[in-house]
Structure 1
Amino acid sequence: MKVEYLFLADAGMAQRESGLFTVLNGGINLVRCPKFPGGLHSVFLLGRISFDPDESAEKHWVDAEIVSPGGQILEPAFRGLELSPGQSELGADKRPELTLALTFQSIVFPNAGTFAFRILKSGTTEELGRTTIEVLPLEV
Protein backbone atom coordinates (compact mmCIF):
# COMPACT_ATOMS: atom_id res chain seq x y z
CA MET A 1 0.00 0.00 0.00
CA LYS A 2 1.40 3.37 -1.04
CA VAL A 3 0.05 6.93 -0.88
CA GLU A 4 0.67 8.35 -4.36
CA TYR A 5 -0.31 11.91 -3.41
CA LEU A 6 -2.22 14.01 -0.87
CA PHE A 7 -3.40 17.61 -1.05
CA LEU A 8 -5.75 20.02 0.71
CA ALA A 9 -8.65 21.93 -0.83
CA ASP A 10 -11.58 24.14 0.17
CA ALA A 11 -14.02 21.49 -1.08
CA GLY A 12 -14.11 18.36 -3.14
CA MET A 13 -15.96 15.24 -4.12
CA ALA A 14 -14.86 11.79 -5.26
CA GLN A 15 -16.89 9.27 -7.25
CA ARG A 16 -16.87 5.89 -5.54
CA GLU A 17 -16.96 3.77 -8.70
CA SER A 18 -14.46 5.59 -10.92
CA GLY A 19 -12.21 7.31 -8.38
CA LEU A 20 -12.50 10.55 -10.35
CA PHE A 21 -12.69 13.70 -8.27
CA THR A 22 -13.75 17.32 -8.42
CA VAL A 23 -11.88 19.95 -6.39
CA LEU A 24 -12.50 23.60 -5.49
CA ASN A 25 -9.39 25.66 -4.66
CA GLY A 26 -7.00 22.71 -4.40
CA GLY A 27 -3.43 23.02 -3.19
CA ILE A 28 -4.03 24.89 0.06
CA ASN A 29 -0.73 25.19 1.93
CA LEU A 30 -1.18 28.38 3.96
CA VAL A 31 -3.78 29.69 6.38
CA ARG A 32 -3.60 32.93 8.36
CA CYS A 33 -5.32 33.28 11.72
CA PRO A 34 -6.20 36.63 13.33
CA LYS A 35 -5.42 35.14 16.77
CA PHE A 36 -4.47 31.86 18.41
CA PRO A 37 -5.95 29.47 19.00
CA GLY A 38 -7.19 29.90 15.44
CA GLY A 39 -9.00 27.62 13.11
CA LEU A 40 -10.60 26.47 9.93
CA HIS A 41 -14.27 25.67 9.56
CA SER A 42 -13.37 22.83 7.20
CA VAL A 43 -10.70 21.57 4.82
CA PHE A 44 -10.84 18.70 2.37
CA LEU A 45 -8.02 16.12 2.16
CA LEU A 46 -7.81 14.26 -1.11
CA GLY A 47 -5.37 11.54 -2.06
CA ARG A 48 -4.77 8.48 -4.13
CA ILE A 49 -3.60 5.20 -2.61
CA SER A 50 -2.22 2.36 -4.72
CA PHE A 51 -1.75 -1.28 -3.80
CA ASP A 52 0.49 -4.08 -4.99
CA PRO A 53 -1.52 -6.56 -7.08
CA ASP A 54 -1.10 -9.21 -4.36
CA GLU A 55 -2.72 -6.80 -1.83
CA SER A 56 -5.83 -6.24 -3.97
CA ALA A 57 -8.00 -8.99 -2.46
CA GLU A 58 -7.25 -7.92 1.12
CA LYS A 59 -8.93 -5.30 3.28
CA HIS A 60 -6.67 -2.57 4.64
CA TRP A 61 -7.24 0.00 7.40
CA VAL A 62 -5.78 3.48 7.68
CA ASP A 63 -5.96 6.44 10.05
CA ALA A 64 -5.94 10.10 8.99
CA GLU A 65 -4.87 12.78 11.44
CA ILE A 66 -3.51 16.29 11.87
CA VAL A 67 -0.24 16.68 13.79
CA SER A 68 1.05 19.92 15.34
CA PRO A 69 4.68 21.07 15.05
CA GLY A 70 5.22 19.66 18.56
CA GLY A 71 3.78 16.25 17.67
CA GLN A 72 0.33 16.70 19.27
CA ILE A 73 -2.51 14.97 17.40
CA LEU A 74 -5.39 17.39 16.82
CA GLU A 75 -9.06 16.55 16.61
CA PRO A 76 -10.83 15.65 14.45
CA ALA A 77 -9.08 12.45 13.39
CA PHE A 78 -10.31 9.49 11.35
CA ARG A 79 -9.57 6.03 12.74
CA GLY A 80 -9.91 2.63 11.13
CA LEU A 81 -10.94 3.68 7.62
CA GLU A 82 -11.48 0.48 5.64
CA LEU A 83 -9.98 0.25 2.15
CA SER A 84 -10.92 -2.64 -0.16
CA PRO A 85 -9.13 -2.09 -3.46
CA GLY A 86 -10.11 -5.13 -5.53
CA GLN A 87 -8.36 -5.95 -8.79
CA SER A 88 -7.26 -3.12 -11.09
CA GLU A 89 -9.51 -2.50 -14.10
CA LEU A 90 -6.30 -2.38 -16.15
CA GLY A 91 -5.48 -6.02 -15.42
CA ALA A 92 -4.44 -8.39 -12.65
CA ASP A 93 -0.78 -7.38 -12.97
CA LYS A 94 -1.49 -3.63 -12.51
CA ARG A 95 -1.60 -1.69 -9.23
CA PRO A 96 -5.22 -1.01 -8.16
CA GLU A 97 -5.89 2.51 -6.86
CA LEU A 98 -8.43 4.07 -4.53
CA THR A 99 -9.25 7.75 -4.07
CA LEU A 100 -9.31 9.00 -0.49
CA ALA A 101 -11.61 11.97 0.18
CA LEU A 102 -12.02 13.24 3.75
CA THR A 103 -13.50 16.43 5.20
CA PHE A 104 -11.90 17.69 8.41
CA GLN A 105 -14.27 20.07 10.23
CA SER A 106 -13.84 22.54 13.10
CA ILE A 107 -10.05 22.41 13.17
CA VAL A 108 -8.41 24.41 15.96
CA PHE A 109 -4.74 25.33 15.57
CA PRO A 110 -3.29 26.08 19.04
CA ASN A 111 -0.39 28.11 17.64
CA ALA A 112 1.43 29.11 14.46
CA GLY A 113 3.64 26.57 12.70
CA THR A 114 3.74 23.76 10.16
CA PHE A 115 0.94 21.23 10.67
CA ALA A 116 0.89 17.85 8.93
CA PHE A 117 -2.11 15.97 7.59
CA ARG A 118 -0.95 12.37 7.50
CA ILE A 119 -2.13 8.89 6.63
CA LEU A 120 -0.95 5.94 8.75
CA LYS A 121 -1.54 2.20 8.79
CA SER A 122 -4.33 1.88 11.33
CA GLY A 123 -3.23 1.42 14.91
CA THR A 124 0.48 1.89 14.09
CA THR A 125 2.99 4.70 13.75
CA GLU A 126 3.83 3.65 10.17
CA GLU A 127 3.26 6.77 8.09
CA LEU A 128 2.16 6.18 4.50
CA GLY A 129 2.00 9.81 3.36
CA ARG A 130 1.58 13.43 4.42
CA THR A 131 0.96 16.93 3.24
CA THR A 132 1.54 20.09 5.26
CA ILE A 133 -0.05 23.47 5.85
CA GLU A 134 1.63 26.59 7.25
CA VAL A 135 -0.44 28.32 9.91
CA LEU A 136 0.66 31.93 10.38
CA PRO A 137 -0.62 35.02 12.21
CA LEU A 138 -2.72 37.41 10.17
CA GLU A 139 -0.60 40.35 9.04
CA VAL A 140 -2.24 43.72 9.60
Structure 2
Amino acid sequence: MGRTIAILIARLIFAGVFIMALSFKFMDITATAGYIASASFPFPLFLAWIAAFFELGLALAFLTGIFFSPAALLAGIYVIFLAVAFHGPGRWAGNQAEFGFFIDHFTFLAGLLFAAVHGPGEALVVRTGQARRPSALAQ
Protein backbone atom coordinates (compact mmCIF):
# COMPACT_ATOMS: atom_id res chain seq x y z
CA MET A 1 0.00 0.00 0.00
CA GLY A 2 2.82 2.43 0.82
CA ARG A 3 4.47 1.78 -2.55
CA THR A 4 1.22 2.53 -4.39
CA ILE A 5 0.73 5.77 -2.47
CA ALA A 6 4.32 6.85 -3.13
CA ILE A 7 3.96 6.16 -6.87
CA LEU A 8 0.68 8.07 -7.05
CA ILE A 9 2.16 11.04 -5.19
CA ALA A 10 5.16 11.03 -7.54
CA ARG A 11 2.85 10.95 -10.57
CA LEU A 12 0.86 13.86 -9.15
CA ILE A 13 4.05 15.84 -8.55
CA PHE A 14 5.26 15.23 -12.11
CA ALA A 15 1.86 16.18 -13.52
CA GLY A 16 1.60 19.19 -11.20
CA VAL A 17 4.92 20.61 -12.32
CA PHE A 18 3.92 20.43 -15.97
CA ILE A 19 0.40 21.71 -15.27
CA MET A 20 1.87 24.75 -13.51
CA ALA A 21 4.28 25.34 -16.40
CA LEU A 22 1.57 25.11 -19.03
CA SER A 23 -0.83 27.25 -17.01
CA PHE A 24 1.76 30.05 -16.90
CA LYS A 25 2.11 29.73 -20.65
CA PHE A 26 -1.64 29.83 -21.22
CA MET A 27 -2.04 32.81 -18.88
CA ASP A 28 0.56 34.88 -20.74
CA ILE A 29 1.85 33.19 -23.84
CA THR A 30 3.52 36.41 -25.01
CA ALA A 31 5.64 36.55 -21.85
CA THR A 32 6.74 32.97 -22.49
CA ALA A 33 7.51 33.88 -26.09
CA GLY A 34 9.58 36.82 -24.84
CA TYR A 35 11.57 34.53 -22.56
CA ILE A 36 12.15 32.13 -25.45
CA ALA A 37 13.23 35.04 -27.65
CA SER A 38 15.68 36.16 -24.94
CA ALA A 39 17.48 32.84 -25.43
CA SER A 40 17.77 33.68 -29.16
CA PHE A 41 15.39 31.00 -30.42
CA PRO A 42 13.54 31.73 -33.67
CA PHE A 43 9.73 31.73 -33.84
CA PRO A 44 9.29 32.26 -30.08
CA LEU A 45 5.49 32.46 -30.09
CA PHE A 46 5.20 29.26 -32.10
CA LEU A 47 7.66 27.51 -29.77
CA ALA A 48 5.75 28.76 -26.72
CA TRP A 49 2.54 27.16 -28.02
CA ILE A 50 4.37 23.93 -28.88
CA ALA A 51 5.84 23.85 -25.36
CA ALA A 52 2.42 24.44 -23.76
CA PHE A 53 0.75 21.61 -25.64
CA PHE A 54 3.73 19.31 -25.11
CA GLU A 55 3.50 19.97 -21.37
CA LEU A 56 -0.24 19.27 -21.51
CA GLY A 57 0.51 15.90 -23.12
CA LEU A 58 3.09 15.11 -20.46
CA ALA A 59 0.68 16.02 -17.66
CA LEU A 60 -2.01 13.78 -19.15
CA ALA A 61 0.45 10.90 -19.48
CA PHE A 62 1.50 11.23 -15.85
CA LEU A 63 -2.10 11.47 -14.62
CA THR A 64 -3.48 8.59 -16.69
CA GLY A 65 -0.47 6.32 -17.01
CA ILE A 66 -0.95 6.11 -20.79
CA PHE A 67 2.43 6.09 -22.55
CA PHE A 68 3.91 6.76 -19.12
CA SER A 69 7.47 5.50 -19.68
CA PRO A 70 7.97 7.16 -23.08
CA ALA A 71 6.48 10.37 -21.67
CA ALA A 72 8.88 10.25 -18.72
CA LEU A 73 11.82 9.83 -21.10
CA LEU A 74 10.63 12.69 -23.32
CA ALA A 75 10.09 14.83 -20.23
CA GLY A 76 13.66 14.09 -19.16
CA ILE A 77 15.05 15.17 -22.51
CA TYR A 78 12.87 18.30 -22.37
CA VAL A 79 13.96 19.17 -18.84
CA ILE A 80 17.66 18.90 -19.71
CA PHE A 81 17.11 20.95 -22.87
CA LEU A 82 15.46 23.64 -20.71
CA ALA A 83 18.34 23.51 -18.22
CA VAL A 84 20.97 24.08 -20.87
CA ALA A 85 18.99 26.56 -22.99
CA PHE A 86 17.69 28.78 -20.21
CA HIS A 87 19.96 28.18 -17.19
CA GLY A 88 23.22 27.02 -18.76
CA PRO A 89 26.79 28.12 -18.12
CA GLY A 90 26.42 31.33 -20.12
CA ARG A 91 24.00 32.64 -17.47
CA TRP A 92 25.94 31.70 -14.33
CA ALA A 93 28.26 34.72 -14.32
CA GLY A 94 25.36 37.17 -14.39
CA ASN A 95 23.33 35.42 -11.70
CA GLN A 96 24.68 32.65 -9.48
CA ALA A 97 21.14 31.46 -8.76
CA GLU A 98 21.03 30.25 -12.37
CA PHE A 99 23.51 27.53 -11.45
CA GLY A 100 21.08 26.28 -8.82
CA PHE A 101 18.24 26.32 -11.34
CA PHE A 102 20.48 24.39 -13.75
CA ILE A 103 21.29 21.71 -11.15
CA ASP A 104 17.63 21.40 -10.07
CA HIS A 105 16.77 20.20 -13.57
CA PHE A 106 19.11 17.23 -13.13
CA THR A 107 17.40 16.26 -9.89
CA PHE A 108 14.10 16.28 -11.77
CA LEU A 109 15.73 14.23 -14.54
CA ALA A 110 16.76 11.59 -12.00
CA GLY A 111 13.16 11.18 -10.87
CA LEU A 112 11.90 11.03 -14.44
CA LEU A 113 14.43 8.34 -15.38
CA PHE A 114 13.46 6.31 -12.32
CA ALA A 115 9.79 6.67 -13.27
CA ALA A 116 10.49 5.71 -16.89
CA VAL A 117 12.16 2.49 -15.80
CA HIS A 118 9.59 1.50 -13.16
CA GLY A 119 6.41 2.64 -14.90
CA PRO A 120 3.18 4.15 -13.58
CA GLY A 121 2.37 1.49 -11.00
CA GLU A 122 -0.82 -0.54 -10.91
CA ALA A 123 -3.28 1.97 -9.46
CA LEU A 124 -5.16 4.63 -11.42
CA VAL A 125 -3.76 3.63 -14.79
CA VAL A 126 -5.96 3.85 -17.86
CA ARG A 127 -5.72 0.43 -19.45
CA THR A 128 -5.05 0.44 -23.18
CA GLY A 129 -2.99 -1.89 -25.32
CA GLN A 130 0.06 0.29 -24.67
CA ALA A 131 -0.55 0.77 -20.93
CA ARG A 132 -1.04 -2.97 -20.21
CA ARG A 133 2.34 -4.01 -21.50
CA PRO A 134 5.19 -3.73 -19.02
CA SER A 135 7.62 -1.00 -19.89
CA ALA A 136 10.35 -2.12 -22.24
CA LEU A 137 12.78 -0.24 -19.99
CA ALA A 138 11.73 -2.20 -16.91
CA GLN A 139 12.60 -5.55 -18.48
TM-score range, shorter chain: under 0.3
What's the TM-score, normalizing by structure 1? 0.24
- Structure with the larger helix share: 2
- Structure with the larger strand share: 1
What's the TM-score, normalizing by structure 2? 0.24
